[in-house]
Amino acid sequence: MESRASFTAETMALQRAFESHRPPGRRRFDDPYATAFLRPSLRVLAEAARLPGIRHLVTGLYDVVAGPGPRASGIARTEVIDDALTEAMTGDTQCVLLGAGYDARAHRLPALAGRAVFEVDHPATQARKRAVLGAGPRYVSVDFERDDLAGRLTESGFDPGKPSVFVWEGVTNYLTADAVDATLAAVHGLGGDLVFTYVDVRALHEPSPFPEARRWVRAVARAGEPWTFGLLPAETGEFLAERGFDLREDVSAHDAGGGSRLYRIAIAIAARSARAPHQ
């Protein structure tokens, strides 16, 4: 992971490509850039999904190989975050995409056009993204386990005096608890609101209440990007309150449109109170 682009970012791009190749009236979002990030073998699959006669065969094959949770959850989380971000981008609000991967929201969402958008990620993934998309957002190279997120952002032009919304999609489950705490402290210190995903911590342990968990957890571990962090949904509100945020929404991918119950999308607002965030 020190020198190569993220494989899970590429598989997420494939999932978005599959959905974007459905008919306009049936797809839940449109990401015209997703296919460009795929290696040749995966690009063939994505392009095949354009054909009505074999679309279900291709996506069905993907679900057989990957399991029943990942693709549907990826689609659900993309739609929920697109909608939340579109609603949040009012006035001079800034957007920060934490662990942006191959997320092309800065290029495809009208709500981000002309806005100050900062993309934070590993430099190897960003190099691949720059090669495909060229100019656009401000790229900020950060290792969440080591680097000063707030400092890197302000050095790149982020204005703490303006409202901001941070999107942290598909990242927390790959971090240590310390890195999650440090990132939340940085976001709170910058006054940002947060849209993020997490996995139910029970999925990381056996026996799990989620039938798809064992296969999914093993698959990401084999790819060299194991899940290392999760939260218990019943305790997420308290966890965030201790770190200076008010939980406004917390929904499973299943309830958001057919994904997995173990994968969740949450919206948290920076608390405007004297309560000190957790250190």
* Contact yes or no for 46/71 (Cβ under 8 A): no
pLDDT of 241 over the 60 cut: yes
Residue-level pLDDT at 2: 47
Indicate whether 207 pLDDT > 70. Answer: yes
Average pLDDT score over the chain: 93
State the virtual CA torsion across 64, 65, 67, 72 in degrees, nearest 10: -80
Q: What percent of the chain has pLDDT over 90?
A: 84
Question: For the residues 230-240, what does the mean pLDDT come to?
Answer: 98
> Residue 61: which pLDDT band, with cuts at 50, 70 and 90?
very high
- Sign of the Cα pseudo-torsion (62, 68, 74, 75, in order): positive
What does pTM read for this prediction? 0.93
Residue range 72-81: mean pLDDT, rounded: 97
Rounded CA separation 9/181 (Å): 23
| Residues 35/46, Cβ–Cβ less than 8 Å | yes
The answer to whether 93 and 193 have CB atoms below 8 angstroms apart is no
More confident: 8 or 228: 228
**Spatial strand order in the sheet of 138-141:** 138-141, 117-121, 94-98, 164-168, 193-199, 263-270, 245-252
Band of residue 272 on the pLDDT scale cut at 50, 70, 90: low
Longest alpha-carbon distance in the chain: 59
Buried b (16+ CB within 10 A) or exposed e, 10-49: bbbbbbbbbbbbbeeeeebbebebbbbbbeeebbebbebb
Please report the pLDDT score of residue 4 as a whole number.
Answer: 56
- 111-151: pLDDT as tens digits: 999 999 999 998 888 888 888 998 789 999 998 889 999 99
pLDDT band (50, 70, 90) for residue 8: confident
Q: Which is more confident, 138 or 5?
A: 138
